[in-house]
Amino acid sequence: MNAAPQTPLGVILAGGKSSRMGRDKAWLSFFGQPMLARVASVVQNVTGELCVSGRDPAVFGIHAPWLPDVLSGQGPAGGVLTVLEATGRSCLVVSCDLPFLDEATLARLVAAWRNRPAGARMTTYRIADTGYVESLVAIYDPEGAPLLRESLARGQRRLSAIFPESLRCHIDYDKADRDTARAFFNVNAPPDLLLARDMETGS
């Protein structure tokens, strides 16, 4: 039997409607690139392989396969289910709205995944003092797909609830550590964009 790949498949979730932003946030430019293209470059540099969930990335100049959601209207959990069932691979999943995501953050995540406990289905970062889980910078294993499908059928869409602590491998970090926390800053709404512009020019 062939050994499992030592690097997960890189996946970007890009099927959201950007309703809070009021315009397609994947096209927002950071560091001279559309945000989706920037995130794609970071992920592919770490994983070597890339897939996009939710839309065709060709219009962004990204040459990668893509998958429409198997269950529409299920948010990020639906995208994770789609890629796990379609590929049967462990997938490093990130959202497309992370302009400050960096390769070191993802490489550390991959290293933790390689040493995860046998029962872990999700490898992720967690804020140490609050327990908040960064479910959209995480590696999901294909064995978790049935649990995802069952949970979505019950109306549970929150990834950190679908995969409880007993099924996770964590990297804890301090929210006050700005260099680490910066990678997880996501741009969901106009106020986030204003703050991100300040962060971009101050970098």
What pLDDT, on a 0 to 100 scale, did the predictor assign at position 2? Answer: 43
What pLDDT, on a 0 to 100 scale, did the predictor assign at position 145? Answer: 97
pTM: 0.93
Q: Give the sign of the dihedral formed by CA 41, CA 47, CA 52, CA 56.
A: positive
For residues 142 and 192, give the distance between their C-alpha atoms in angstroms, rounded to a whole number.
33
Radius of gyration of the chain from its Cα atoms, rounded to whole angstroms:
16
pLDDT in tens, 89-144: 999 999 999 999 999 999 999 999 999 999 999 999 999 999 999 999 999 999 99
Using DSSP's 3-state secondary structure scheme, residue 125 falls into: strand
pLDDT in tens, 66-87: 998 887 788 999 999 999 999 9
pLDDT in tens, 131-161: 999 999 999 999 999 999 999 999 999 999 9
For residues 107 and 4, give the distance between their C-alpha atoms in angstroms, rounded to a whole number.
18
What pLDDT, on a 0 to 100 scale, did the predictor assign at position 25? Answer: 87
What pLDDT, on a 0 to 100 scale, did the predictor assign at position 19? Answer: 59
What is the crossing angle of helices 75-87 and 145-153, to 10°?
140
Using DSSP's 3-state secondary structure scheme, residue 184 falls into: helix
Full set of structural domains in the chain with CATH: 9-201 (3.90.550.10)
Which residues, including other chains, have CB under 8 Å from residue 34's CB and lie 6 or more apart? 26, 27, 28, 60
Contact yes or no for 123/105 (Cβ under 8 A): no
pLDDT in tens, 164-200: 999 999 999 999 999 899 999 999 888 888 888 888 8
Provide mean pLDDT across the span 5-29. 80
First to last CA, the chain: 47
Q: What's the pLDDT band for 20 if we cut at 50, 70, 90? A: low
Please check the confidence at residue 3 and state whether its pLDDT lies above 90. no
